[in-house]
Amino acid sequence: MTAPDLYGFTPITDDDATIAALLNEVSVPTLLCAMVHLTGDPAWIRDDKLKPAGLFLNEYQGFMSEEAKAEARARALPEILAFRDRGGVLPPAPSDELIHEIMCFLGCADIPEDVLPMMLSELNLDGTGVPSLEAPPVTGDRQAFPVVVIGCGQSGLLAGIKLREAGIAFTIIEKNPGPGGTWWENSYPGARVDVGSHFYCYSFEPADHWTEYFSQQPELRQYFVEVMGKYGIEPHCRFNTEVISADFDEATGTWTVRVRAADGTVDELPARAVISAVGALNRPQLPNIDGIDDFNGPTFHSIRWNHDVDYRGKKFALIGAGATGFQIAPTIADDVEQLTVFQRTAQWMFPNPNYHEPVPDGMKWAIRHLPYFGRWFRFLILWPGAGTDLVGPRIDPEWDDRDGLAVSERNLATRNFFLGFMADQIGNDPELLAKVTPDYPATGKRTLQDNGSWLGCLQKDNVDLVRTGIQRIEPDGVRTVDGEFYEADIICFATGFRHNDFLWPMEIRGRNGQRLNDFWGDEPGAYLGITVPGFPNLFCMYGPGTNLASGGSLIFHSECQISYIMGCIEKMLDDELTALEPTVEAYETYDELIRDEISQMVWSHWAITNSHYKNSKGNVHTLSPWPLHVYQAWTRQPDFSKFVLTK
Ligand code: NAP
């Protein structure tokens, strides 16, 4: 068997010395897994001398000693040279049992049987379900079944790829001039993903070219542009166009989707199914601060970063320091005269030494040339954050939480670990340490990643962290409630998004003209986060209850959702249905289940007062409390006994 080119393996043409040098830069535990494929010999993962010592999120060497790594590389080199010399011929593929064993080796854990299906499908060694580049012609009933996808971010683009592959007519409506959603829009300095890039990409479209382990926005934006081009999605897209409303007609089972182009032209598109792929983090939330319009200088929200404004040498006020502010501040601190960061709530942060690290040439080479190396590296990133038990964020009902600082023994240990990480960096500055120490349980809000850049930035002479509340904005700066005044030339609001307002500001009217926002009220819900009774043939991606606060990647979730949605659409086509929607009972049962589960999680804890995970009533309806493998199993295919199917 020769190495499949499914994932773009290319034959090795480098000389011996080059290969030996490149191996010095690879993740050695991942290399050992690839060696099993390359040689057919399981001994690589059975030798105690070569076992990773442990696993930690974003630790790519499994804490192996230098000696063990050197020995592994030395043993691997001649085998790789032989593989090159025999023209890339591989021995028979490892058995399923051996694959499971490799997973346990790399994950430094017993990978439970119930998690195995998810891990196998993520690894996808045989390329099952990889979309074909050739699209079938759109004819017959598939032509008469137009689908409108709202949004061309990662989920909408994925929907397009799957619809095209199924030969179904579709149009993607996108408000931006190009694809990528949040990665198109967020161009603020320092914007980068905080899920490892080799996992934060489509499972079927791995990229061997990431220049950093956690890619910056321009590279991610380019990834989505390239994927769109590769799968021929662009002709199906209407960019610079927004959906205003969608109305369902019961007689025909058809939605009428009203769209408005940038020039104001309004158009109506019929849709037998609508897929909402609008994302949840792109409608800016501006703070309600007195005097906000009185400021003399430029102001902008982080997602509308004004690149015409030169911040160099200026006094810069950054209001808000969540995930976005954490990235902006260290990036601009050295260029501004003064940076004042207004942070209402301190944030927990997780150590990630690789956060700003480039991917070395050896890693890129191994992904390109060593069969399955890239797949196993993806596994190495996924597994430690896969949240297979979600014990970490769960509130222990027996735990005395009156101080509001922890929700379980394990959560207290996490708190102490995070505190230790912070103290290691700024222990010499107790005042700053006290200022940045959160007063709520660890992981209760989105935990941020840090490689030292955030706390390092706060220690700079020209950077001031202000934890006092803002009273008002004045023409020349910001005044806090203690009367202090902070001069500013520019204000940036990194104050987040309308995360709780699903599908806002569109008007979606289902059966009997019922408005979706009226049906939802303050607490949107959806059966499995995807379908809503009374709103037939409407499918959500990244819908209510599907945001991830505990590991994983939203792209993973999107792949689960689209597989489920395509199952529903195929059912409609096969059975010539006019309408498909969940039963009220299925919706309510699921709603109760998810609310009950969420209420037991740290994100719902009373000690967390300011969190975009909570709505105005303090309830959480945006997050998924489910382990990834559970959600994947539930969404693998629809259970039509939970649906009302109308002919
Ligand atoms: P965010 O996490 O909600 O942070 C908003 C910040 O603004 C917080 O510090 C918040 O304070 C503050 N704020 C909001 N309203 C305020 C007000 N009225 N007065 C004073 N301060 C106010 O928003 P974000 O940083 O834009 O991040 C949102 C989400 O986007 C993240 O959770 C993540 O999912 C995603 N994101 C990801 C990345 C990445 O992958 N690296 C980067 C950026 C964003 P409180 O904390 O007190 O509410």
Nearest Cα residue to 163 out of 246, 231, 222: 231
Q: Work out the pLDDT band at 6, boundaries 50, 70, 90.
A: low
- The DSSP output letter for 259 is E
Is 611 part of any domain? yes
pLDDT score of 138 more than 60: yes
- The DSSP output letter for 206 is -
Q: Point out the ligand 1 atom lying closest to the alpha carbon of residue 281.
A: 30
CA dist., res. 68 & res. 73, Å (int):
9
The whole-chain average pLDDT of the chain stands at 95
Same domain? For 619 and 556 the reply is yes
Pocket of ligand 1 contains residue 193 by CB under 6 Å: yes
pLDDT score of 440 more than 70: yes
Is 322 part of any domain? yes
Residues in a beta bridge with 508: 246
In this predicted structure, what is the pLDDT of residue 4? 46
CA dist., res. 584 & res. 307, Å (int):
49
CA dist., res. 581 & res. 640, Å (int):
10
The gap from C-alpha 108 to its chain's centroid, in whole angstroms, comes to: 24
Q: Vertex 270, ends 266 and 275: CA angle to 5°?
A: 95
CA dist., res. 373 & res. 30, Å (int):
6
**Total structural domains within the chain:** 2
Is 566 part of any domain? yes
- Look up the CATH number of the domain holding residue 509: 3.50.50.60
In this predicted structure, what is the pLDDT of residue 5? 52
In this predicted structure, what is the pLDDT of residue 529? 98
Region of 63 on the Ramachandran plot (φ > 0 left; ψ -120 to 50 alpha; else beta): left
Is 25 part of any domain? no
Express each pLDDT in 312-331 by its tens digit: 999 999 999 999 999 999 99
**Which letter, b or e, does each residue of 24-44 get, where b requires 16 or more Cβ atoms within 10 Å of its Cβ?**
eebbbbbbbbbbbbbbeebeb
Pocket of ligand 1 contains residue 216 by CB under 6 Å: no
Same domain? For 564 and 614 the reply is yes
Express each pLDDT in 13-71 by its tens digit: 999 999 999 999 999 999 999 999 999 999 999 999 999 998 888 899 999 999 999 99
Looking at residue 512, its amino acid is N
Is 169 part of any domain? yes
State how far the alpha carbon of 295 is from the alpha carbons of 108, 159, 285, 290, 469, in Å.
55, 43, 18, 11, 18
Q: Point out the ligand 1 atom lying closest to the alpha carbon of residue 448.
A: 41
| Ligand 1 centroid distance, CA of 425 (Å) | 23
Pocket of ligand 1 contains residue 284 by CB under 6 Å: no
Pocket test for ligand 1, best of 344, 445, 550 (most atoms within 8 A of CB): 344
**Which letter, b or e, does each residue of 296-318 get, where b requires 16 or more Cβ atoms within 10 Å of its Cβ?**
ebebbbbbebeeeeebeebbbbb
Nearest Cα residue to 387 out of 33, 108, 105, 57: 57
Q: Work out the pLDDT band at 1, boundaries 50, 70, 90.
A: very low
Same domain? For 530 and 456 the reply is no
Same domain? For 476 and 578 the reply is no
Looking at residue 243, its amino acid is V
Express each pLDDT in 179-188 by its tens digit: 999 999 999 9
Query: Range of 337's domain?
Result: 299-348+394-493
| Ligand 1 centroid distance, CA of 494 (Å) | 6
Pocket of ligand 1 contains residue 345 by CB under 6 Å: yes
State how far the alpha carbon of 236 is from the alpha carbons of 146, 537, 570, in Å.
11, 20, 20
Tokens of 434: 């006290």
Is 400 part of any domain? yes
Pocket of ligand 1 contains residue 444 by CB under 6 Å: no
Q: Work out the pLDDT band at 207, boundaries 50, 70, 90.
A: confident
Pocket of ligand 1 contains residue 281 by CB under 6 Å: yes
Residues in a beta bridge with 215: none
Tokens of 476: 């020349």
Domain end point (choices 493, 512, 538): 493
Phi, psi for residue 465 in degrees, rounded to 5: -100, 120
Protein residue closest via CA to atom 37 of ligand 1: 323
Pocket test for ligand 1, best of 281, 448, 499 (most atoms within 8 A of CB): 281
Q: Work out the pLDDT band at 3, boundaries 50, 70, 90.
A: very low
Q: Point out the ligand 1 atom lying closest to the alpha carbon of residue 345.
A: 47
| Ligand 1 centroid distance, CA of 210 (Å) | 26
| Ligand 1 centroid distance, CA of 216 (Å) | 18
Same domain? For 599 and 558 the reply is yes
C-beta of residue 531 within 8 angstroms of C-beta of residue 582: yes
Same domain? For 311 and 340 the reply is yes
Kindly tell me the burial class for residue 167, based on how many C-beta atoms sit within 10 Å of its own C-beta (0-12, 13-18, 19 or more). middle
Is 425 part of any domain? yes
DSSP string, 210-260: -SBSS-BHHHHHHHHHHHHHHTT-GGGEE-SEEEEEEEEETTTTEEEEEEE
Same domain? For 521 and 590 the reply is yes
Same domain? For 523 and 612 the reply is yes
Express each pLDDT in 273-302 by its tens digit: 999 999 999 999 999 999 999 999 999 999
Same domain? For 416 and 547 the reply is no
Is 17 part of any domain? no
Task: Indicate the pTM of the whole model.
Answer: 0.97
Same domain? For 584 and 558 the reply is yes
Domain end point (choices 437, 468, 493): 493
Domain end point (choices 442, 472, 493): 493
| Residues above pLDDT 70, as percent of the chain | 99
Nearest Cα residue to 548 out of 467, 477, 620, 635: 620
3-state helix, strand, coil in the chain (%, to 5): 35, 15, 50
Mean pLDDT of 552-556: 94
pLDDT score of 2 more than 70: no
SS3 230: helix
Q: Report the 10 Å Cβ neighbour count for 392.
A: 18
Express each pLDDT in 563-577 by its tens digit: 999 999 999 999 999
Same domain? For 161 and 260 the reply is yes
Pocket of ligand 1 contains residue 322 by CB under 6 Å: yes
Same domain? For 274 and 303 the reply is no
